[in-house]
Amino acid sequence: MKFDFSFSHLPDLHFGAGKLNHLPEIISHWGNNILLVTGENSFSHSVYYEHLTSRLKTQCILWRELMIGHEPSPSDIDQGVQLYRDSLPDVVVAIGGGSVIDAGKALSAMLVSELPIVHYLEQVGDTQPTGKKVPFIAVPTTAGTGSEATKNAVISVVGNGGFKSSLRHDNYIPNVAIIDPELQLTCPASLTACSGMDAFSQLVESYLSTNANPMTDTLALDGIMHIVQSLEELVLCQPTNLLLRSKMAYAAWLSGITLANAGLGTVHGFASSVGATTEIPHGAVCGSLMAETNKITLQELKKSNEQGISLQKYATLGRITGKYEGKPNDFLAEYFIDYLEQLTEKLKLPKLGQFGVKGNDIESIASKTSNKNNPVKLSHEQLVKILVNRL
Ligand SMILES: [Fe+2]
């Protein structure tokens, strides 16, 4: 445990059912001309879209719209910049899933940057981002990435020579996050499951991270408890239960805070390497590999004598998920893995092969997979084993 840490600032947060109604008033603090970034499906076809545009008209707020239907690529962002740079909006508002929030975040920065976005991407580019941006408001319609709380936008190129890389700067943390769980009520079960597993894994990875600190641990455990209380019930039984949606939205928000301040582990290492190889939703990779990766990580920790804190943390996770008070730590840690394996079955989380990952991709994917801040470094062979078991 590190009692030596920094903690990033957060967006102004408006959380609760109906909070989207506050958006026009919040926009008016900066001006009356916005760029509205949405996904191709859910929000722009919903009754909430009609309500919002009606309110924007009433408040004399002009809007232009850009749809991003997939995880944003460099050319998506550069094309958006070409369209809107000459008449800058006062505010960029992104309403959608994690990809849409990332696209809006990147556009808000690139609209006032000189070079194409690829120059500013981590491990890919050659130039530090300036931190300049158009004010940015994030409104998530899924409970998953927590991008509404973070300072990075993930930009993807899929296929040969593909990559997933972040545009990152402290100033890119959204100015405002509006988390309105009503917007998530119609999220389909499979998307709710995969997004929820992304948030779950982010919380667990940051809790177990070698860079965790007392604040991230507290927030991560609270987020995990909310997911345990809500995800399974929401996906399998009560998709329109607003309280359950609120709990998941809250957990996803916390997961963004903890990942930004403690880092992530091997599951998200896979998310980058698998996601750069084939078109696969980020949450599907995380959900598919979470149980298997934690199983091998725990096995490796047990072989090491120096990882007592991490083993205790696995036991705490077992205690939260199983309510087995008084059981020994070994039992509790193993129980957590059982819980994840059962959840994988119950939520019918997809296997990688369903998205076109093939046996002969595995060596290459494993060689590009980072362990990030996992509590123990998994070997190439162990990474291969995880992928094979979820092919
Ligand atoms: Fe994630």
Q: Please check whether residues 81 and 152 belong to one and the same domain.
A: yes
Q: How far apart are CA 352 and CA 388, in angstroms?
A: 9
pLDDT at residue 305 tops 90: no
Q: How far apart are CA 25 and CA 238, in angstroms?
A: 33
Total tally of structural domains belonging to the chain: 2
Q: Please check whether residues 201 and 324 belong to one and the same domain.
A: yes
> How far away, in angstroms, is 174 Cα from ligand 1 center?
17
pLDDT of residue 257: 98
pLDDT at residue 245 tops 80: yes
Q: Which residues surround ligand 1, an ion (CB under 5 A)?
A: 198
> How far away, in angstroms, is 87 Cα from ligand 1 center?
33
Q: Please check whether residues 114 and 261 belong to one and the same domain.
A: no
> How far away, in angstroms, is 238 Cα from ligand 1 center?
24
Residue 292, both tokens: 């298997």
Burial of 301 (0-12, 13-18, 19+ CB in 10 A): buried
pLDDT of residue 69: 87
Q: How far is CA 334 from the centre of its chain?
A: 26
CATH number assigned to the domain comprising residue 269: 1.20.1090.10
Number of H helices, E strands in the chain: 13, 8
pLDDT of residue 45: 86
In a domain, 352, yes or no: yes
Q: Please check whether residues 39 and 84 belong to one and the same domain.
A: yes
pLDDT digits (tens, 9 = 90+) for 8-32: 999 999 999 999 999 999 999 999 9
pLDDT over 90, % of the chain? 93
Q: How far apart are CA 255 and CA 257, in angstroms?
A: 5
pLDDT of residue 306: 67
pLDDT at residue 2 tops 80: no
pLDDT of residue 155: 97
> How far away, in angstroms, is 136 Cα from ligand 1 center?
21
> How far away, in angstroms, is 293 Cα from ligand 1 center?
15
> How far away, in angstroms, is 62 Cα from ligand 1 center?
33
pLDDT band at 44 (very low <50, low <70, confident <90, very high): confident
Q: Looking at 162-247, which runs of residues are DSSP E strands?
A: 163-168, 176-179
Q: What is the mean pLDDT of residues 140-157?
A: 96
> How far away, in angstroms, is 31 Cα from ligand 1 center?
33
Strand-pair category, 33-38 with 62-67: parallel
Residue 126, both tokens: 């050659």
> How far away, in angstroms, is 145 Cα from ligand 1 center?
5
Q: Please check whether residues 219 and 362 belong to one and the same domain.
A: yes
pLDDT digits (tens, 9 = 90+) for 333-361: 999 999 999 999 999 999 999 999 999 99
Q: Please check whether residues 203 and 225 belong to one and the same domain.
A: yes
Q: How far apart are CA 302 and CA 17, in angstroms?
A: 44
pLDDT digits (tens, 9 = 90+) for 59-89: 999 999 999 988 999 999 999 999 999 999 9
Q: How far is CA 227 from the centre of its chain?
A: 14
> How far away, in angstroms, is 242 Cα from ligand 1 center?
23
pLDDT of residue 42: 72
Q: Please check whether residues 229 and 333 belong to one and the same domain.
A: yes
Q: Please check whether residues 179 and 196 belong to one and the same domain.
A: no
Q: Please check whether residues 196 and 153 belong to one and the same domain.
A: no
Give the pTM. 0.96
pLDDT of residue 40: 83
Q: What is the mean pLDDT of residues 300-310?
A: 85
Full residue range of the structural domain in which residue 312 is found: 189-389
pLDDT over 70, % of the chain? 99
pLDDT band at 161 (very low <50, low <70, confident <90, very high): confident
> How far away, in angstroms, is 50 Cα from ligand 1 center?
30
The mean predicted confidence, pLDDT, of the chain is: 96
pLDDT digits (tens, 9 = 90+) for 215-230: 999 999 999 999 999 9
pLDDT at residue 108 tops 90: yes
> How far away, in angstroms, is 283 Cα from ligand 1 center?
7
pLDDT band at 254 (very low <50, low <70, confident <90, very high): very high
In a domain, 275, yes or no: yes
Query: At residue 236, what is the residue type?
Result: L
Tell me which range, 47-51, 162-166, 202-206, is most confidently predicted by mean pLDDT: 202-206
Place of tokens 């997939």: 70
pLDDT of residue 323: 77
pLDDT of residue 93: 98
The three-state secondary structure class of 18 is coil
pLDDT of residue 52: 95
In a domain, 7, yes or no: no
Q: How far apart are CA 106 and CA 293, in angstroms?
A: 30
pLDDT at residue 307 tops 70: no
Q: What is the mean pLDDT of residues 283-306?
A: 94
In a domain, 6, yes or no: no
